[in-house]
Structure 1
């Protein structure tokens, strides 16, 4: 695949490939078509001897609002994952580890919303840099299930992870850097230039050595159990989908995605509902 409908590709500096999720009108929701193109672009970068590092970012107002909602995610998935209970979570986890296992480093450049599956995608990257005012969260814990890929305790520690898991609240970019989700936070207007500076430094190291550097960090995490623990989370996610609360909530999607999200967040007054409140104040 060389021509992409939902990605923009450029090479802003030598040995750097930049991949932009290009569904701004959908807040870069991760449809299976977008995911198929993304994995193809990352694999091509990993095979390209002229590329030392990839940057992943989103077009428009945010990095990504999460997976495409409203049904159909079981169709045309970008790679095969065996069926049965928990198939989607196992499929998502496999995708995260596909990025994890690539030889070349991948940097996530995060601004605006980075929610649900968008946060999982960012976490799968090797380095994460965020705008100070970014909003990172996993709101589906409020109404449907724990995450597909349960990275939270590994990246943020028990207490901060537990707070996000039990509230579904978002954290800012500044909090994300402090709590371990991200490497650093920058003012939004400086984010692009700062990420390019860091990517240039990463690309200076010989590629064949860099892949061993990357692997050494991942192997340390694997010895501590991250891969087994994240995979085990798929079973709990499948169990959550059988609860009365989750079954009842998912029926709301028949009335429209926007309706379902409003039902989820109305009593909390954030995410989509928070934007409505701000709009009413300005109006």
Structure 2
């Protein structure tokens, strides 16, 4: 297989291609370089007759803490998106739909933190299985904007989505399964085994039929307006970037660095980097 710098690709069981985000020292922050390798690997697997299912997970202590705030996301984007206002949220949404539109099913295996862009990536997958103690959320609503990929109301309904959007709080893996973000949650020590079991089960159905099964569900969601709604959400994300709050936070990121800015953002909420443990 092709050598990669930011992902690991393997075939853990027959007909299953696994892609591991491999920037553990950066909590698998989604730089454009990593995203480029990820999309290329997914699309290569979609063309590979030996592959029936793709599996996406993260190396190290978490799935992904989100987009790489230390890099310029307008540079070296892995595929072309028209420039101008809202380029980045439109680019993110187009990336999520690239996963949505693959012929073969994609499964997300989520442990640890799954935040901001990491939660958007997981939400774009066809099946999502999470560790009971995973932490899933979009804390960027506190300081920057709503999600680029506005999946929350579609997956979880208006009330739960509104609570998450108005607080930036995270939910546990167990809560994520209960409210519809994930299919199921498992204890972290058996998550991988259970996900591989499910991937092998999905892979039993031939791909020529399975791609139609997958699209049958998607077409119903599209008929209800999901694709158009998410695209509209991208425009609202772009609008949020012009607010005084967002401009001030971006200035903090540049002046104080990512760690200090995020710590300051979450300090009054007592979570994220400022969460207290029972040993404190």
1:16 and 1:225 map into 2 onto residues whose CA distance is 31
Please name the residue that 1:142 is paired with. 142
Please name the residue that 1:216 is paired with. 216
Please name the residue that 1:96 is paired with. 96
2:13 and 2:163 map into 1 onto residues whose CA distance is 39
Decide which moves more: 251-260 or 113-122: 251-260
Q: Do structure 1's residue 41 and structure 2's residue 41 form an aligned pair?
A: yes
Please name the residue that 2:257 is paired with. 256
Aligned positions of 1:78-89 closer than 5 A: 78-89=78-89
Please name the residue that 2:26 is paired with. 26
Structure 1 residue 145: deviation in Å? 0.6
Deviation track 1:45-70 (CA, whole Å, cap 9, x = no partner) reads 00000100011000000000000002
Please name the residue that 2:271 is paired with. 270
Mind listing any 5+ residue stretches in structure 1 that lack a counterpart?
Answer: none
Please name the residue that 1:232 is paired with. 232
2:265 and 2:122 map into 1 onto residues whose CA distance is 23
Please name the residue that 2:110 is paired with. 110
**Total equivalences in the alignment:** 279
Structure 1 residue 90: deviation in Å? 0.1
Please name the residue that 1:204 is paired with. 204
2:71 and 2:30 map into 1 onto residues whose CA distance is 12
> 3-state DSSP class of the match of 1:204?
coil
1:172 and 1:151 map into 2 onto residues whose CA distance is 17
Deviation track 1:10-43 (CA, whole Å, cap 9, x = no partner) reads 1111000111000000000000000000000000
1:71 and 1:28 map into 2 onto residues whose CA distance is 13
Q: Aligned-pair RMSD on alpha carbons?
A: 1.0
> 3-state DSSP class of the match of 1:11?
strand
2:31–2:71 CA contact under 8 A, matched in 1: no
Q: How high is the TM-score relative to the length of structure 1?
A: 0.97
Please name the residue that 2:183 is paired with. 183
Structure 1 residue 196: deviation in Å? 0.5
